[in-house]
Each structure stands twice: as structure tokens, then as C-alpha cells.
Structure 1
Amino acid sequence: MNFAEKLKKLRDQSRLTQSEFASEIGVSLRTYKAYELGERRPRKHDIYLKIADIYDLDLNSLITDGEDLKTLSHIENNDKDADVIIKEMLGLFSGGKLDLEDKKAVLDSLEEAYYIAKMKEEKNE
């Protein structure tokens, strides 16, 4: 599922018009329509953060093509550390003091850790 499909699914589930959804995330209707048609994606990271926050979504599942949408509530009680890490990372990327190069290095490391964990899980299935 790509970003455009995920937006449409969120909008349908929340029973909002395109105009209402656009207003909720702080973009123009024209911009939102382009997102939903797959013609463009948000340039500002805070749009992704706003969508993830409003709909209690795991940011990675929102921005990664091919992934289904996952809510933060999928994190089990014994995974509270993961919830804390996610919230800290959101803070780091939305207002932290790291420069873009360092943010990219952090993101690359997280992505690598994700794929390592995914491969381990697939081996255990």
C-alpha cells in the first residue's frame, strides 16, 4: 500500500471529505488531492507527523510503501520502551537540534535495525 492509498483509507475510515481531511492536516484541498492521487508527497516532515499524531499511527508504517497502516496501540505493554523511543524520535526529527546529515544517519540506522529485525522474524516463521 502506498502513501496515497493510505491517505484515502484513513480519510474513508474517518468519514471525512477531502476538504475536511486537508483542513485537519493543514494543507490546501488542491495539495491534498495531489497527495491522494499519488502525484506528490508532503515536502515537510511535520505533515507526516501531524497525520501520524492525529490518527495515532506508527510513522514508519505511514511513510513506508508496501507496509499496512499500524497504530501505535499495536505496541504491547512489554514494549513500552518502543513507544518511548518512537516518541523521542518524533521529537528529534520535528524539533531536535541535529543537522540534516545527522538526522539522515539516525534514520538510516533505524531503517537498518528494522530490516535486521524483519529478517530475523521471517527466519523464525
Structure 2
Amino acid sequence: MNYGERLRQLRLEKGLSQQELANRLKINRSTYARYELGKTQPDFETVSKLADFFAVSTDYILGRSAKKENDWDSKLPELTEKDERDIAKDLEKMISNLEKKEGYSQFDGQSMDDMDEEDRELLIASLENSMRLAKRIAKQKFTPKKYRK
């Protein structure tokens, strides 16, 4: 399957017309139609926009990979129980510091007391996800090759 066929398949899976997709990407419909027909190949910026829009890798769009999903996440090491405990402890400490009236007690101009419950939960979830990702990236970056699986 070439890149034009892949683009057409992805577009149809989203239920979009060529015009709707071209509008969202801010390109001409005729330009996009030529991509699907395989007459021209999109530039790197457009391939990146397409990959982000469809949540696939650029390699998938260009036909270099059979995998649809962007697999950067699967390349990162998994967290151990100790890592999970460390994240929970650090998150608790961070939340505690945010609740204090001094120091870095404000987020976007609001203290934790000013936030409603939903905003508070979203902030905590965002902090936790960021800490998990940072820990996984650090494990990949700083684990010697001989200990990697």
C-alpha cells in the first residue's frame, strides 16, 4: 500500500471528505487529492501534520512501517514497583507544596484552594502522567546498555 492509499484509508476511517481534511490542514483540496492519487508527495511539514492529525507515525504514512500506531511509547522501559512508589511519594510532596500558602503555591494564578474539584483532579492527573513519562525517559536514557532488556 503506497502513501496515497494509506492517506485515503485514514481519511475514510475518520469519515472526512477531502475538502474537510484539507481545510483542517490548511492546504488546498486539489493538493491533498494529488497526495491521495500518488501524483505528488507531501513535504515533511505536511507529513508531520498528517501524522499528528491521524495519530500515526510518519513512517506509516510514507509506507516505511506497517504499524499504524506511533510506537514511541512502546520503546520506553516499563516502571517497576519502586518507581511507582517513588512517583507517588514525589507527587504527594508536590501536591503538599502546592497547597501551602508560600513558595510555588499557585498554578495559573490560582492556589489549590481556589480550584474546583475537577480542576484539582485534572492538575494532579497531569502531574502524575508527566512524572511517569519523565521517569520512563530517564530510565531509557541513563540505563547502561548491558542492563537493558
Q: TM-score, normalization: structure 1?
A: 0.55
Q: How does 1:1-125 map to 2 (within 5 A)?
A: 1-42=1-42, 44-64=43-63, 67-72=65-70, 75-76=73-74, 78=77
Shift of 1:62: 1.4
In structure 2, the residue corresponding to 1:71 is in which secondary structure?
coil
Query: Structure 1 or 2: larger helix share?
Result: 1
Report percent identity of matched pairs. Answer: 26
Q: Which has the higher contact order (CA 8 A, sep 6+)?
A: 1
How many residue pairs end up in the alignment? 81
Shift of 1:59: 1.4
Q: Deviations over 1:46-77 (max 9, x none)?
A: 10010111111111121135x43521258426
Larger radius of gyration: 2
Cα separation, 2, equivalents of 1:69 and 1:5: 15
Q: Structure 1: which amino acid aligns with 2:17?
A: T
Q: Unpaired segments of 5 or more residues in structure 1?
A: 85-125
Contact 1:57 1:71 in 2 (8 A): yes
Q: Structure 2: which amino acid aligns with 1:56?
A: A
Q: Deviations over 1:55-110 (max 9, x none)?
A: 11111121135x435212584263765xx9xxxxxxxxxxxxxxxxxxxxxxxxxx
Cα separation, 2, equivalents of 1:8 and 1:36: 6
Q: Structure 1: which amino acid aligns with 2:5?
A: E
Pair 40,49 (structure 1): closer, same or farther in 2 beyond 3 Å: same
Pair 6,75 (structure 1): closer, same or farther in 2 beyond 3 Å: same
Moved over 3 A (4+): none
Shift of 1:31: 0.6
Q: TM-score, normalization: structure 2?
A: 0.47
RMSD between aligned residues:
2.6
Cα separation, 1, equivalents of 2:35 and 2:22: 10
Q: Structure 1: which amino acid aligns with 2:41?
A: R
Q: Structure 2: which amino acid aligns with 1:71?
A: E
Cα separation, 1, equivalents of 2:66 and 2:23: 24
Pair 74,45 (structure 1): closer, same or farther in 2 beyond 3 Å: closer
